[in-house]
Amino acid sequence: MKSVRLRRAVPADAALLHAWDAEPHVIKAVTDDPTAEEAFIDADWEQEISDQSPVSFFLIGEENGRPVGSMQVIDPHLEPTHYWGEIEPNLRALDIWLGPADALGRGIGTAMMTQAIDACFAAPEVTAIVIDPLSSNPDAHRFYQRLGFRPVERRLFGPDDCLVHRLERAHWEARS
Ligand SMILES: CC(C)(COP(=O)(O)OP(=O)(O)OC[C@H]1O[C@@H](n2cnc3c(N)ncnc32)[C@H](O)[C@@H]1OP(=O)(O)O)[C@@H](O)C(=O)NCCC(=O)NCCS
């Protein structure tokens, strides 16, 4: 198995995240706007990284030491932007995107998610993990569902039409 390691994002990663915003597969995963030329258009990565806290932080996935992907981990009940609106406590919400196109489809995302999910459930109070892929991203739905996530609700987040998925702790623990 390839060596995939997750580490916390640091200020020097901002340039990488900016560069990945221009990757067509990242843009497609983030917006249904066919004219978009950049993903996470409002993101100031320097600021996002310096604003990290225990309720919202970024992870960088490295394959044999090369940064290849990013994740955001939030506590959706507590994080200050209240992106998820009214939502129960003791959840985590994840987002994941690989940067270089040559990293796609080689098991790196599965390895990153597996480590991140284990880390989320290491906190005993966490009952489930939620994610919000665009409804138009069936490849991602298949990816999440293979990990045990189940679709629970189609929902608009601003202009984004998303298919919310949820992974229950019991389901994850029964998996192995
Ligand atoms: C989704 C993603 C993290 C999966 O990681 P990965 O390393 O490519 O996936 P793995 O090799 O572990 O697993 C393969 C599965 O990933 C999914 N996948 C592969 N390429 C993908 C792509 N460009 N976009 C979305 N999902 C993809 C498919 O479900 C694939 O399964 P399949 O063989 O049945 O087609 C990665 O493909 C990615 O970053 N895609 C673009 C951004 C994205 O869609 N993020 C999710 C938004 S919520």
Distance 90 CA to ligand 1 centre (A): 27
Which range of residues forms the domain containing residue 165?
4-175
Tokens for 50, please give them.
């310096």
pLDDT tens digits, 93-146 = 999 999 999 999 999 999 999 999 999 999 999 999 999 999 999 999 999 999
DSSP state of 53: B
Entry pTM:
0.96
CATH number of the CATH domain containing 53: 3.40.630.30
Q: Is 163 helix (H, G, I), strand (E, B) or coil?
A: strand
Q: Residue 116 in contact with residue 144, Cβ under 8 Å? A: no
Ligand 1, CB cutoff 6 Å, lining residues: 25-26, 29, 95-98, 104-110, 133, 137, 139-140, 142-143
Query: Buried b / exposed e across 158-167, counting CB within 10 Å, b at 16+?
Result: eebebbbbbb
* Averaged pLDDT of the chain: 96
Please give the number of the atom of ligand 1 that sits closest to the Cα of 111.
Answer: 12
How many whole angstroms separate alpha carbon 62 and alpha carbon 174? Answer: 28
